Structure 1
Amino acid sequence: MATARTENPAPMLMGLSKQNGQLRGQQKPAAPQSGPPGIGHPVKPPHLLQSAAPQKHGAPPNSGGIRFGDDWKKNLQLPPKDMRIRTSDVTSTKGNEFEDYCLKRELLMGIFEMGWEKPSPIQEESMPIALSGRDILARAKNGTGKSGAYLIPLLERLDLKKDNIQAIVMVPTRELALQVSQICIQISKHMGEVKVMATTGGTNLRDDIMRLDETVHVIIATPGRIVDLIKKGVAKVDRVQVMVMDEADKLLSQDFVVLIEEIISYLPKNRQILLYSATFPISVQKFMSKHLQKPYEINLMDELTLKGITQFYAYVTERQKVHCLNTLFSRLQINQSIIFCNSTQRVELLAKKITQLGYSCFYIHAKMMQEYRNRVFHDFRNGLCRNLVCTDLFTRGIDIQAVNVVINFDFPKNAETYLHRIGRSGRFGHLGLAINLITSEDRFNLKSIEDQLVTEIKPIPSSIDKSLYVAEYHSELHGQEAHDVALEEHP
């Protein structure tokens, strides 16, 4: 099997930092072995407050873009076409087009330049309802396009003649806030002066207060920070049209629910609320009955497991885990991997071990300074390192297309955490591999999670067929045929 090493396994001089989360030797890490075009080419992280400058495509966007009669699509700067085979989670659509929803041309330009060719199932189901102004409770699998499902109608409904905050997107983590803000900025870049602000805890509050002196249309925020800004009177939300809750189950957990209730108390009574998540516990039902008005319910979760992800376990002792991980690295064809531990201390210890074994490695956890978390997140997302060790901080909505392997170095205790962890691979219907290191103490949790998810986590074979988790590409002419064959071979 192809090796996953990013450097030669020679003894390394480690440039370790206890703060910045980036552990690597003096050699340059190799580029990922496979994955979507563009991986390994860094892009600038999103600014916290930004409106994308109009692109030159024949005419300024807010003048109508292209002259009447022109084929405006010919002027788009499209990314390289992603020809990887996808599972039915994102391909079994009704056949709708983005143009069917009467969206502004400038918004369509941004959508297509993101590489989004057609709506995914969750986008087909929820976009027309969201555009109508009705509340939504939507349940869909990780990595199937939930961000686009709420950002597209949110941007379509903005009135740029008004200078007030019109939409709030609530997310549970800082990394997800930055990711969503970047997507929002990119798809709105042809719309003119759309002002997008990301605000999270751990950053300078004074900077956020100064930014809110200027026009802001869309705020993407974590709950604690937006409550602070509202109470200080600088984030005026009395004219907000829509509030989105991404990863709603986490936002309605004990950690956040009091803050969420407080935020809603400041919103106008006729606001729209959109809830999106992969799992919906009882807390969501209570919230829905209290705050949502005749919500439209969408459930695309007939089964909890992810179709494109193959799951294995390796039965080991605690002392054998690092050796087992080293064996996996040497035998798997890893594009990028995320390795989960159950505590921040174990994250740093394991990251150091991995570096000593001769592999480049980043780590990230909640106790790191925010500026280092941001740098690790963006550098890993842009393909500068192959392996990332983290806590469950990284399980919520983080979309890194190149990740094809997830390893649970420490096995989670519940099915919900397990589902979100393995959902970091196989994004947007692509193939992925989840490997679980199981000790004798974990065997009961393994059985419980299998029962709850109605799935089978199989013993790891001596050799894993790379076609189960390494991207396969099909031609334009035979795309659907290749896709159908792939599903028959790996249902």
Structure 2
Amino acid sequence: MSTHPFSELPLPEALLKNLEQIGYREMTPIQQKSLPLAMAGKDLIAKAKTGSGKTAAFAISMLLGIEQRFFGCQGLVLCPTRELATQVANEIRKLARYQQNIKVVTLCGGQPIGPQIGSLAHGAHIVVGTPGRIQDHLRKQTLTIDQVKTVVLDEADRMLDMGFIDPIEHILGHTPSDRQTLLYSATYPKQIRALSQKFQSEPEEVTVESVHSHQHIQQFFYQAENTDKPDTLCKLLNHYQPASAVIFCNTKQTCKEVGTELYEQGYKPLVLHGDMEQRERDQMLVRFSNQSADILIATDVAARGLDIDDLAAVINYDLSRDPEVHVHRVGRTGRAGKEGLALNLHTSREQYKLDEIADILRTELTFGDHRALKPATQPPSKAPMVTLAIDGGKKNKVRAGDVLGALTGDAGISGDQVGKINIFDFVAYVAIKRESARKALERLEQGRIKGRKFKVRRL
């Protein structure tokens, strides 16, 4: 494999040095193909998924065009979810370190609008956010985007799935017609082409092959009619016993039904769907990613921004209507060279979906026989961790080190019993090994963090 260092591109020395410091030495395929085009000011349609390095691919060229002395919005990035917007904004801030005072502001729903308005009053070079909230700011005239040079539609296919087409059109209507528009999408449905034709001028297309390399994933298909699916699902969970699994359903209603079914069988699944409050959603994602829950049931829309590095299995309770979405779902397991497992339920009437999946994967599918699976003889094992929620977060000046200190200080619990610590604005979550959970809860209830007492509860 030939390597392509960033130094191949005409980038300023300070930027190259910063890339080196944050560990970006070689370009990923999407960066290598799209950066020169983006830097030349061309419009782009790039087919790439999360984890391909696409943020740096659009952020580097966007940063090169920023005039620091002008504090109006010059770069605008639209993302489907708050989680993704936060991730993208953090990455842009890291990349922007090579120059002084580049201000990046995140505007998302599910957060109070007041502080956002305050932030914008001082100007912002780059705005990253969700379409709904950016549209709110345009209505309130707290955001002006008539000087924007570059607009990025990140995960455009997901934004369309989530019904954001009108807000996107409204937002683009407020930007200059000579702007650069970069469109990134993991899949390429007809609506994306229509969006591109309407808002891009002579876009270059970039596709990175082998985005879906599935060689680390074992994939099995099991036939089960709709009435047999719950029973087959339980048998699969019992047979394979994955350490963590995301179960995909096509509708919110099915998610809830599967959740109830598993709960009755002794599992403790989390159910994630689009109607949830942001806080509830954050809490579930934290509990799943810190190993306090080992099963998450979700629709495609609800699973956006779900960035779990170490997912043992993906189970498609319903096959997706779109074979590319199937590939995208399955690609969440077997990452970073680890072994992954994908289990799929299909009815006898879904042969056409199986044919489409086989076509796109360019491989024969492997079928399993659910009759060979044994029913469970003992109750399912519990998740290894427990999450404690502390009613204090960033805005209360609580940091991860403070929480760790409160738990492990003077004859506390040992550090190896503490898992991930996630700090949000007004709440902090800490994962504790199950056997130490009671002691940790007592310690936090009796002790102080930053000299203050906070309410603590076990989730």
Mind listing any 5+ residue stretches in structure 1 that lack a counterpart? 1-91, 464-491
* Paired residues of 2:262 and 2:269 also in contact (CA < 8 A): yes
Please identify the structure whose Cα radius of gyration is greater: 2
Task: Measure, in 2, the Cα distance between the counterparts of 1:193 and 1:106.
Answer: 14
Quick one: which amino acid aligns to residue 179 of structure 2?
A: R
Deviation at 1:332, TM superposition (A): 3.7
Say which of 263, 268, 271 aligns to 1:363. 271
**Does structure 1 residue 231 correspond to structure 2 residue 121?**
no
Correspondence list, 1:337-356, <5 A? 337-354=245-262
Say which of 90, 111, 118 aligns to 1:203. 111
* Paired residues of 2:78 and 2:154 also in contact (CA < 8 A): yes
Task: Measure, in 2, the Cα distance between the counterparts of 1:293 and 1:386.
Answer: 46
Identify the residue that residue 219 of structure 1 maps to in structure 2: 127
Scaled by the length of structure 1, what TM-score is found?
A: 0.66
Task: Measure, in 2, the Cα distance between the counterparts of 1:320 and 1:186.
Answer: 50
Say which of 354, 366, 380 aligns to 1:458. 366
Higher relative contact order (CA 8 A, sep 6+): 1
Q: Deviations over 1:210-241 (max 9, x none)?
A: 32223322222222221221122111111111
May I ask how many residue pairs the two structures share in their alignment? 371
Say which of 66, 70, 86 aligns to 1:162. 70
Task: Measure, in 2, the Cα distance between the counterparts of 1:445 and 1:297.
Answer: 27
Quick one: which amino acid aligns to residue 167 of structure 1?
A: G
**Does structure 1 residue 293 correspond to structure 2 residue 211?**
no
Quick one: which amino acid aligns to residue 205 of structure 2?
A: E
Quick one: which amino acid aligns to residue 172 of structure 1?
A: P
Deviation at 1:155, TM superposition (A): 3.2
Deviation at 1:99, TM superposition (A): 3.3
Deviation at 1:412, TM superposition (A): 1.9
Task: Measure, in 2, the Cα distance between the counterparts of 1:107 and 1:387.
Answer: 42
Correspondence list, 1:53-64, <5 A? none
Correspondence list, 1:155-194, <5 A? 155-188=63-96, 191-194=99-102
Quick one: which amino acid aligns to residue 31 of structure 2?
A: Q
Task: Measure, in 1, the Cα distance between the counterparts of 2:65 and 2:368.
Answer: 49
Distance change (3 Å), C-alpha of 1:341 and 1:254 = closer
Identify the residue that residue 29 of structure 1 maps to in structure 2: none
Quick one: which amino acid aligns to residue 425 of structure 1?
A: T
Identify the residue that residue 401 of structure 1 maps to in structure 2: 309
Task: Measure, in 2, the Cα distance between the counterparts of 1:441 and 1:114.
Answer: 50
* Paired residues of 1:315 and 1:438 also in contact (CA < 8 A): yes
What is the Cα-based RMSD across aligned positions, in Å? 3.3
Mind listing any 5+ residue stretches in structure 2 that lack a counterpart? 374-459
Scaled by the length of structure 2, what TM-score is found?
A: 0.70
Correspondence list, 1:50-449, <5 A? 94-104=2-12, 107-108=15-16, 111-112=19-20, 115-141=23-49, 143-188=51-96, 191-251=99-159, 255-301=163-209, 306=214, 308-332=216-240, 334=242, 336-354=244-262, 357=265, 359=267, 361-396=269-304, 398-427=306-335, 431-449=339-357
Quick one: which amino acid aligns to residue 65 of structure 2?
A: R
* Paired residues of 2:187 and 2:325 also in contact (CA < 8 A): no
Quick one: which amino acid aligns to residue 407 of structure 1?
A: I
Deviation at 1:285, TM superposition (A): 3.0
Task: Measure, in 2, the Cα distance between the counterparts of 1:335 and 1:193.
Answer: 44
Quick one: which amino acid aligns to residue 83 of structure 2?
A: E
Distance change (3 Å), C-alpha of 1:118 and 1:302 = closer
Task: Measure, in 2, the Cα distance between the counterparts of 1:378 and 1:219.
Answer: 26
Correspondence list, 1:11-50, <5 A? none
